[in-house]
């Protein structure tokens, strides 16, 4: 396969870079200082999203999206990932399982979400159920043609900003009947328990939701009863690749900032880049980023434009998330060290990146869960499952 970027790829990447520099980076300090953005700032960025054609980059044009494949999304998200405050989340990207909806569901949820008129939040995690969705305790009981949902969902990212939830629940308490439901936030029985504060600064919040006897009609099932795990797994594949892309972008920014600082910082009469204690750290950062980025591009290209099975995609995305997020953790730690005391100041992007990148080894499956997925594939198919790419 030819992994060279096409002219269209480079143009898309350049457009994403210019968008980031013009509409995301200038709002970082406002987001940090105010724990979010003003309505006016959000309106400015959202208008730019439409103008620059970055709304719903992951959905088909016939549904109102931009129709970019996973490789193209990787190029975009890599650039957006350079912004702190999770400002990359202001450009909306409706959850990919929404494409499994009926035409009526698409008209009510997906297409307005692609236009930016509605927004979803995926509600999976619970107090006692994280990386293992089979442990979910949220139950959807049948009641005639309806379902009555009871449960509590944690870490519902963008739950404060969304107007509807995609709730992963077990029909009649049976994990074999895992199902995703459309749940409008204004339905009776939907309430915010609390909105915790987190280590990172995030432009939106991660509330805890309680669903107490929430009644939804059967038409609110996304896909089919029992298809929930497959839909959630599909969502995980895309999200894990996007996390990998953003962490690579963040790592690149950390290296750029560290190199610029080290060139200008003089100690004992010499720029600190001339001291191996600093210079070798920069070299290691560059080498690890190069390796992670090569893996990311190969993986997203193969999944987007190659012939891979759902099982293979799941394992490949696990590798990409594991390697890129773990690399970012090492890179940003070195960046803070190189910046010294200034790297510990919140006004410095490397400090914010240090706090914000930590969660990338946790959400959408911890690093340990990625290793479980990789090990399972190794046991079933052997090393060729990974060393044999491309197929």
Question: pLDDT at position 389, please?
Answer: 59
Write the pLDDT tens digit of every residue in 25-45: 999 999 999 999 999 999 999
- Tokens matching residue 199: 């280590």
Average pLDDT over residues 364-388: 89
CA distances from 263 to 258, 271, 275 (A): 8, 6, 11
Q: Rounded to whole angstroms, how far apart are CA atoms 346 and 329?
A: 18
Cis status, amide bond into 138, omega within 30 of 0: no
Per-residue tokens: 249: 């972008």
Residue 309 is predicted with a pLDDT of 81
pLDDT in tens, 53-95: 999 999 999 999 999 999 999 999 999 999 999 999 999 999 9
Q: Which residue has the tokens 């959630």?
A: 232
Compute how many other C-beta atoms are within 10 angstroms of the C-beta atom of residue 339. 21
The whole-angstrom distance between residue 226's C-alpha and the CA centroid of its chain comes to 25
Alpha-carbon distance of 41 to 169, in angstroms, equals 36
Dihedral angle sign, alpha carbons of residues 256, 260, 266, 269: positive
The contacts of residue 105 (CB under 8 Å, 6+ apart) are: 98, 182, 219, 222
Tell me: pLDDT of 1 over 70.
Answer: no
pLDDT tens by residue, 329-360: 999 999 999 999 999 999 999 999 999 999 99
Instruction: Please check whether residue 219 is in contact with residue 104, taking contact to mean a CB–CB distance below 8 angstroms.
Output: yes
What pTM was estimated for this model as a whole? 0.95
| Spatial separation of the C-alpha atoms in residues 116 and 53, rounded to whole Å | 12
Residue 286, pLDDT > 70, answer: yes
Report the pLDDT averaged over residues 301-326: 90
135-194 residue pLDDT tens: 999 999 999 999 999 999 999 999 999 999 999 999 999 999 999 999 999 999 999 999
The confidence score (pLDDT) of residue 384 equals: 78
Which tens digit of pLDDT belongs to each residue from 234-273? 999 999 999 999 999 999 999 999 999 999 999 999 999 9
Token code pair at residue 344: 């510990």
Residue 109 and residue 163: Cα distance in Å, rounded?
10
Q: Is the pLDDT of residue 314 over 70?
A: yes
CA distance 384 to 215: 48
Cβ neighbours for 332, distance < 8 A, ≥ 6 positions apart: 250, 251, 254, 350, 353, 354, 357
* Predicted local confidence at residue 381, as pLDDT: 86
Measure Cα distances from 131 to 126, 209, 361 in Å. Answer: 10, 18, 12
Q: Does pLDDT of 326 surpass 70?
A: yes
Per-residue pLDDT, averaged over 200-205, amounts to: 96
Q: What are the tokens at 192?
A: 């915010």
């Amino acid at each position: 396969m030819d992994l060279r970027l096409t002219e269209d790829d480079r143009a898309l990447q350049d457009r994403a870079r210019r968008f980031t520099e013009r509409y995301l980076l200038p709002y970082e300090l406002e987001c940090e200082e105010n724990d979010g953005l003003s309505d006016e700032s959000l309106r400015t960025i959202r208008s730019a999203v439409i103008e620059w054609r970055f709304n719903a980059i992951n959905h088909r044009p016939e549904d109102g999206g931009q129709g970019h494949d996973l490789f193209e999304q990787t190029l975009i998200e890599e650039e957006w990932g350079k912004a702190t405050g999770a400002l990359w989340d202001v450009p909306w990207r409706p959850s990919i399982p929404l494409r499994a909806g009926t035409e009526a569901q698409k008209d009510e949820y997906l297409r307005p979400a692609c236009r930016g008129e509605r927004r979803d939040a995926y509600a999976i995690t619970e107090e006692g159920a994280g990386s293992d969705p089979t442990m979910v305790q949220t139950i959807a009981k049948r009641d005639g043609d309806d379902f009555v949902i009871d449960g509590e969902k944690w870490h519902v990212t963008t739950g404060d900003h969304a107007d509807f939830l995609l709730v992963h629940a077990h029909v009649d308490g049976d994990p074999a009947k895992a199902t995703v439901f459309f749940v409008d936030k204004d339905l009776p029985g939907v309430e915010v328990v609390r909105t915790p504060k987190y280590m990172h600064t995030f432009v939106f919040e991660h509330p805890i939701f309680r669903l107490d006897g929430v009644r939804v009609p059967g038409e609110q099932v996304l896909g089919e009863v029992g298809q929930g795990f497959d839909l959630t797994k599909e969502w995980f594949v895309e999200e894990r690749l996007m996390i990998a892309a953003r962490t690579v972008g963040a790592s690149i920014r950390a290296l750029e900032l560290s190199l610029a600082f080290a060139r200008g910082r003089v100690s004992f009469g010499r720029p600190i880049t001339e001291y191996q204690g600093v210079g070798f750290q920069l070299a290691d950062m560059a080498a690890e980023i190069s390796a992670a980025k090569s893996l990311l591009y190969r993986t997203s290209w193969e999944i987007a434009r190659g012939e891979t099975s759902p099982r293979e995609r799941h394992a490949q995305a696990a590798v990409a998330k594991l390697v890129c997020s773990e690399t970012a953790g090492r890179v940003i730690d070195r960046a803070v060290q190189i910046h010294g005391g200034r790297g510990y100041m919140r006004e410095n992007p490397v400090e914010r990146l240090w706090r914000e990148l930590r969660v990338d080894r946790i959400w959408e499956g911890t690093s340990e869960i990625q290793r479980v997925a990789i090990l399972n594939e190794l046991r079933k198919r052997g090393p060729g499952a990974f060393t044999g790419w491309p197929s």
